[in-house]
Amino acid sequence: MQVISLDHVNIITADLKKTTKFYSGLLQLVVKNGPKPMRPEHAQWLYDMRGRAVIHVNVAGAYQVFEKNAKPCGPTGALHHVAFDCEGYADLLKRVKAMSLDYKTNEVTSIGLKQVFVFDPNDVLLELNFRNN
C-alpha cells in the first residue's frame, strides 16, 4: 500500500455557510451537497476544478459513520495545518486581500516554492503551495 495523494479534509464547523463561502471564495472550490444520509444543512463537499472532493465540511453533531467527538476549536486543535498544491499565486493573493484576510507568505527558492499561509473561519491553518513547474 502507498499513499498516492491527499483525498480530502473534513472540517467540523459551527457555521457551515461561512466556512463553505470562505473555501469557495478563496480557493475557488465548487460547493455541492454531500451523499445521503448527509443532509445539505449538515454537510457540504467542496470540489476542485477536476471534480475531485477536496474539503468536506460538517456542522457539529452531524451524522458520522465513525463517531468522534470533534468540535470547532482553535487554533486548529491537534491539527497544525492542511497543505494544498495550487496554481495561480497572484490571483490567490488578490482574493486574500479582497477578503481582508491576515496571511503570511514564504518562499523556498532552492526548490522553486512560494507559499501563502492563512486561517479559515474555524482557525484551521492552510498552507497553499505554488511550485515553479
Residue 16, φ and ψ in degrees, nearest 5: -60, -45
Q: Are 83 and 129 in contact (CB under 8 A)?
A: yes
Q: How confident is the model at residue 43 (pLDDT cuts 50, 70, 90)?
A: confident
Span 71-91, average pLDDT: 77
In the predicted structure, residue 58 carries a pLDDT above the cut 90: no
Structure-model confidence comparison of residues 9 and 65, the more confident one: 9
Which residue has better confidence, 95 or 35? 95
Sign of the torsion formed by the C-alpha atoms of 36, 32, 118 and 85: positive
Per-range mean pLDDT, top range of 22-31, 57-66, 71-80: 22-31
Sketch the domain layout of the chain as residue ranges: 9-62+74-131
Burial code (b: 16+ CB inside 10 Å, e: under 16) for 104-127 equals eeeeeeeeeebbbebbbbbebbbe
pLDDT surpasses 70 at 36: no
CA 90 to chain centre: 19
Q: Does domain 9-62+74-131 have CATH number 1.10.8.350?
A: no
pTM equals: 0.77
Q: Which helix (H) or strand (E) holds 98?
A: helix 89-98
Average pLDDT over residues 106-124: 89
Q: In this predicted structure, what is the pLDDT of residue 77?
A: 62
Interior/surface letters 41-65, b for 16+ CB within 10 angstroms, e for the rest: ebbbbbbeeeeeebbbbbbeebeee
